Amino acid sequence: MQRIFDEHKVRIVKSLDGLWNLTPDNGSGKSYPVFVPSVWERIPDLTSFRGVCTYKRSVEIAEPGTYLLKFGGVSHTADVYLDGQFLGHHYNAFTAFQVLAENVTAGSHTLTVVADNRFSEKSALHVPNDYTTYGGINRPVELHKVEEAYIDRMAFSCEETGKGKYLAHVSVFLRALSSIENADVLLSVAGGTEKAAVPALSAGESAEIKLDLAVRNVVPWDVLDAHLYDLTATLSVNGQFTDDLIDRVGFRTVKIEGERILLNGKEVRIKGFNRHEDHGQFGMSLSVDAMMDDLQLILDTGANSLRTCHYPNDPRFLDLCDALGLLVWEENHARQLPSEVFRTDLFREQCRVCNEEMVHQHCNHPGIYIWGLLNECESDTEYGRTVYAEQIAQLRALDPTRPISFASCRKFTDICLDLVEVVSYNIYPRWYEDDSVRHYTEKLVAWMEEHGAKTKPILITEIGAGGIYGYHDPFAKPKWSEERQAEILEEQLTAIHAMPRLSGAYLWQFADVKVADEFALRRPKAQNNKGIVDLYRRPKLAYLTVKKIYHEI
Ligand code: ADA
């Protein structure tokens, strides 16, 4: 399943997760049984295979007709075929996509997915980086039977109209596969229902049906106090229910008021972690229970928020954050891209698509309170400003209900801070810069105030230090020892959370992650060792340091 709850009761959905056959294009002539979803690096022969693999499985169709094949993610490029017929292409491991198969006969069919995780001139977002681009069908696969028209997605937002009272604004996006008339959409959420007529549509046409729905006696969604409601849209044609879509929403309001971020009118102070989708055993394809294990640890430390560094996350992880009341900074797929990549039309197009998929697919998650973009890219040049402005405008148009920010590393040179509602910086005093945390941060904040951050909230989106699991030296406490990491994090978090001008910080980072070979010389064991737990979630000394401080704040 692509969510932690059923998205359909009317539509017939079948999971295609399970055993597939995988053939790497490496001249070995070998094939392997493989469980989907997973990364192919878990196959011993393919632990470091960067290339093309072909996945195949048979699909039994009982009812002839039209089907959607929905992929939660394929890393990092996919070409999909049914019985050899090309159905569609997608780039980017971190966003979902679907392909349409029409006139499918009853019987057995062969589904083929060609996955490619190579770095090349065709890939501007998946590049050698301080995290790993794995290979494979990394998120769940589903087969959906659709009729003459179907509900493609919904967009939900709400405004508070009184205690426990909200006005829900919902857009239901439909696609017609053949002409329809005499159709309507029935919407229900939190005990309210509303119906709207659907205009006659011809084959291939789409429609956005807007509905407003007043609800009462609603319990708001709040930090660490989650209350979720099923949002259900049902499509009927000629009086017959033909399709539906269920999402889970929370009633909450996010506002920026001067230097403060407000959730339901109360100030938010972030005690967060950066978390990559990476695990020593699962690679980027964590099972939901492994995701929940991470969140149990994160809740245990007293944290209240996660930053999805540096790409859109698995919707099932976002569902868990919604259910646990964890705030999420979700961001598009970009990390410190070199100019020769950043300054290409391919990069701008691949980012544009990623932004649209991220917002369309994730805008209903109540936990997401802010959209981030372009981590540590070129926000200190005129060209960079053009790109930031273009993408901020795109995100604002896609979702006017959430603030936007970007994590800058351009200390004292950034020229884009005026473009966003929340100003954010990644800083590493005591690790990369040997300066006192308080002095370093106060100096930078003073500069920010003069360069676009005045009267805006400021977040520290990264702060941390490295520590190699199991490396101890309590006397010298050299860098990379667990003792030194704990000591630095103590100074960092204590100083940051003693500065009322800041709205909080995201520690870099929750868990160690594997990095690309190109980064290995700067990363012991070819890992980014700044986690408070290692690849396998074994806690370092710093874990207890963070837990003590987060519970005291
Ligand atoms: C940057 C980057 C992170 C990570 C970090 C580090 O801030 O945004 O992805 O690479 O540096 O560990 O140095």
Question: Into how many domains does the chain fold?
Answer: 3
In a domain, 534, yes or no: no
Q: Whose CA is nearest to atom 3 of ligand 1?
A: 130
> What pLDDT score does 221 carry?
98
Proportion of the chain above pLDDT 70, given as a percent: 100
**Would the CB of 530 count as within 6 Å of ligand 1?**
yes
Q: Helix count (H) and strand count (E) of the chain?
A: 8, 31
Q: Summarize pLDDT for 433-488 with one digit per residue, the tens.
A: 999 999 999 999 999 999 999 999 999 999 999 999 999 999 999 999 999 999 99
Q: Is the pTM of this model over 0.85?
A: yes
324 with 394, same domain: the answer is: yes
Comparing C-alpha atoms, which of 497, 429, 412 is closest to residue 463?
429
Cα radius of gyration (the chain) = 24
* 3 state SS of 513: strand
State in Å: Cα 283 to ligand 1 middle.
Answer: 19
Last residue of a domain, one of 146, 172, 202: 146
Q: Is 310 found in the same domain as 234?
A: no
The tokens of 404 are what?
């936007």
Q: Is residue 4 part of a domain?
A: no
| Band (186; pLDDT cuts 50, 70, 90) | very high
- The reply to whether 155 and 242 lie within a common domain is yes
96 and 134 in a single domain? The answer is yes
Question: Mean pLDDT throughout 253-274?
Answer: 98
Distance 305 CA to ligand 1 centre (A): 18
Q: Which atom of ligand 1 is nearest to the CA of 375?
A: 8
Average pLDDT of the residues in 494-519:
97
Average pLDDT over residues 250-256: 98
Ligand 1 midpoint to CA 41 (Å): 24
What is the arithmetic mean of pLDDT over 32-47? 98
Q: What is the model's pLDDT at position 84?
A: 98
Instruction: Determine contact, residues 542/548, Cβ cutoff 8 Å.
Output: no
Instruction: Single out the residue of 33, 245, 235, 56 nearest to residue 141, CA to CA.
Output: 56
Last residue of a domain, one of 249, 279, 307: 249
Q: What is the CATH number of the domain that holds 35?
A: 2.60.120.260
Digit-coded pLDDT (tens) for 194-244: 999 999 999 999 999 999 999 999 999 999 999 999 999 999 999 999 999
273 with 303, same domain: the answer is: yes
Mean per-residue pLDDT, 341-345: 97
- Identify whether residues 293 and 162 lie together within a single domain: no
Q: Based on the fold, state whether residues 113 and 244 are members of the same structural domain.
A: no
Token pair recorded at residue 553? 């704040």
| CB 57 within 8 Å of CB 158 | no
Domain range holding 442?
Answer: 266-511+541-552
- For residues 61 and 206, membership in a common domain is answered with no
Q: Where residue 495 sits, what CATH number does that domain have?
A: 3.20.20.80
* Tens-digit pLDDT profile for residues 159-183: 999 999 999 999 999 999 999 999 9
Q: What is the mean pLDDT of residues 124-150?
A: 98
Amino acid at 469: Y
Give the mean pLDDT of the chain. Answer: 98
Dihedral over Cα of 400, 377, 525, 47: its sign: positive
- Report the share of the chain in percent with pLDDT over 90: 100
Contact, 75 vs 136, CB < 8 A? yes
Ligand 1 and 408: CB distance under 6 A: no
Residues 131 and 511: their CA atoms lie apart, in Å, by 12
Average pLDDT over residues 362-377: 98
509 within 8 A of 275, measured Cβ to Cβ: yes
276 Rama class: left (phi>0) / alpha (psi -120 to 50) / beta: beta
The span from the CA of 114 to the CA of 95, in Å, is 17
Give residue 30's pLDDT band: very low, low, confident or very high (50, 70, 90): very high
- Co-location of 195 and 130 in the same domain: no
User: Does residue 301 share a domain with residue 221?
Assistant: no
Q: Is 462 in the pocket of ligand 1 (CB under 6 A)?
A: yes
Q: What angle do CA 401, 404, 410 make, to 5 degrees?
A: 175
Burial 73-88 (b: 16+ CB within 10 A, else e): bbbbbbbbbbeeeebe
Distance between Cα 148 and ligand 1 center (Å):
48
From the alpha carbon of 466, which atom of ligand 1 is closest?
12
261 in any annotated domain: no
pLDDT, residue 490, reads 98
Q: Is 375 in the pocket of ligand 1 (CB under 6 A)?
A: yes
pLDDT value of residue 465: 98
Same domain, 193 and 138: no
